[in-house]
A and B are shown apart, each in its own frame.
Chain A
Amino acid sequence: MKEVLGEVERWRAAGRRVAVARVVAVEGSGPRDPGATMAVSEDGEVAGSVSGGCVEGAVVEQALEVLAGDGVARLCTFGYSDDEAFAVGLTCGGTVHVFVEPLDW
């Protein structure tokens, strides 16, 4: 959270809505530990990261959906799996749980 504060404050000062995505759990090998944070502004600017790069795009999409839609927080799971439900995978074989929510608190 600390590393995205500067950008988040800039967006807030400009009156832009912000979503925050945080890694809350990792199973197996994952590039970033719980606490890794990405912030996304409603017009698609991004600060911080939640992985080594493999799921960033999908997380930005989720964040923009949260901001555009009903504003309800969601827990997203990304991981390597045979299950087709996991469209986005981590090349390292781990699973990462990312909580995406509007910064309205």
Chain B
Amino acid sequence: MTLYEALRDALRAEEAVALATVVELTPEEGAGDAGDPGEHGVGLGAKLLVRPVGAELGTLGNDDLDRVVTRDARAALETGLTSTRHYGPRGQARRRAVAVFIESFAPPPHMVIFGAVDFTAALGRAAKLLGYRVTVCDARPVFATPARFPMADEVVVDWPDRHLAKVGGELGPRDAVCVLTHDPKFDVPAIVAALRTRVGYLGAMGSRRTHAERVARLREAGVGEEGLGRVMAPIGLDIGARTPEETAVSVCAEMIALRTGRKAPSLRDVEGPIHARAGEAPAGPVPGGADAAQGRDGPHLDDGRPPA
């Protein structure tokens, strides 16, 4: 089997695999050139196929370079990052003799949503749009049905903490757990269990009051500041989302911002109402003039999400 065929089969099976290719050689820095791999054996186009575990396939030219690139390729698989890195001809750091393009083909990231509510369906659809494999989990068999969540790859009837005890070990930095139950009897154990995983995004729905109570319960359950710091709650960005669909957009946008390290305002980090007030309009000219703007002085909607 050729290296291409091994790559093809891994891609079709959605297995994690990284392909490293030598894309540039700088002879004056000790590499060979396009026509001559040189003393270190590194030739243009040389390839190494790397999996999370097990032996690699192919070679970039020598064992030293292969070893360093294998390590970097596995790290790239963890984050799903694809980029070109530079090395010395024997894999030395801080040298630019060899440019290696490390393309990581990670399987789709996984989103686990706890709570079979209206918000779940909208969030599941938005997550599919972003390429997630979606699991919906709820302990109530009446609500956790594939018919109610046709977008989900998997609908599980189980208690959240029990489900995470089974699959939590597979969750990593690219994955997400969204706790939409906003019922302490489900969401406290779910969050505690999710904190034991390496999941990259952990969000929990609920009003500011609900979350304040939840924080107290989480502390009682032994969760420390570091753990609490991982919980994005109230869930989502501060964009005034109201409907399940808008809330799904705000949650997905928060997941993207957390991953990219951008300073989009999370609800967690600001104060004030979660939902836009009726008639709230951006600063500047208000479409519809004075009538439309009047709603800004009107009654203030409840802080919390509508009940499920």
Residues of chain A at the chain B interface (Cβ within 8 Å): 1-2, 5, 9, 22, 24-25, 33-35, 72-75, 97, 99, 101, 103, 105
* CA–CA, A26 and B58, complex, Å: 27
With A9-B8, A72-B44 as contacts: A33 and B103 at CB distance below 8 Å: no
Tell me which of B8, B45, B47, B84 contacts A5 (CB under 8 A).
B8
C-alpha spacing A1/B5, complex, angstroms: 12
Given contacts A24-B84, A72-B35, contact A105 B23 (CB under 8 A): no
B93 contacts partner chain A, Cβ-Cβ < 8 Å: no
Contact A1 B21 (CB under 8 A): no
Do the beta carbons of B12 and A1 come within 8 Å of each other? no
How many of B's residues come within 8 Å of A, CB to CB? Answer: 24
- C-alpha gap A64/B112 in the complex (Å): 46
Taken residue by residue from 69 to 103, chain B's Cβ proximity to chain A (1 for < 8 Å, 0 otherwise) reads as 00000000000001110000000000000010101
Once bound together, how far apart are the Cα atoms of A21 and B281, in whole Å?
47
- What residues of A have a CB within 8 angstroms of the CB of B35 in the complex? 72
Could you say which residues of chain B place their CB within 8 Å of the CB of A101?
A: 21, 45
A residues near B83, Cβ cutoff 8 Å: 25, 34
Q: How far is the CA of A30 from the CA of B99 in the complex (A)?
A: 20
Bound: A38/B257 CA distance, A: 29
With a 10 A CB-CB cut-off, give which of B7, B12, B84 has the most chain A CB atoms: B84
- Most chain A C-beta atoms within 10 Å of own C-beta, residue among B2, B3, B8: B8
**Chain A residue at minimal CB-CB distance from B104:** A35
> Nearest Cβ in chain A — how far from B108, in angstroms?
11
Given A1-B7, A105-B2, A105-B3, A99 contacting B101 (CB threshold 8 A): yes
Chain A residues with Cβ below 8 Å from B12 are 5
Is B3 a contact partner of A22 (Cβ separation < 8 A)? no
Residues of B within 8 Å of A97, CB to CB, are 23, 84
> Are B23 and A99 touching (Cβ within 8 A)?
yes
Tell me the nearest residue of chain A to B8, going by C-beta. A5
Chain A residues positioned under 8 Å from B11 (CB to CB): 1-2, 5
For residue B24, CB closer than 8 A to chain A, the reply is yes
- Closest chain-A Cβ to B52's Cβ sits at a distance in Å of 18
A103 to B47, CA, bound (A): 12
Q: Contact: B103 with A1, CB < 8 Å?
A: yes
In the complex, how many angstroms separate the beta carbon of B116 from the nearest chain A beta carbon? 32
Contact B103 A75 (CB under 8 A): no
* Chain B window 19-55, contacts with chain A (Cβ cutoff 8 Å), 1 for yes, 0 for no: 1010110000000001100000000110100000000
- B132 interface residue per 8 A CB criterion: no
- Which residue of chain A has the shortest Cβ distance to B19 in the bound complex? A1
**Cβ of B119 < 8 Å from any Cβ of A?**
no
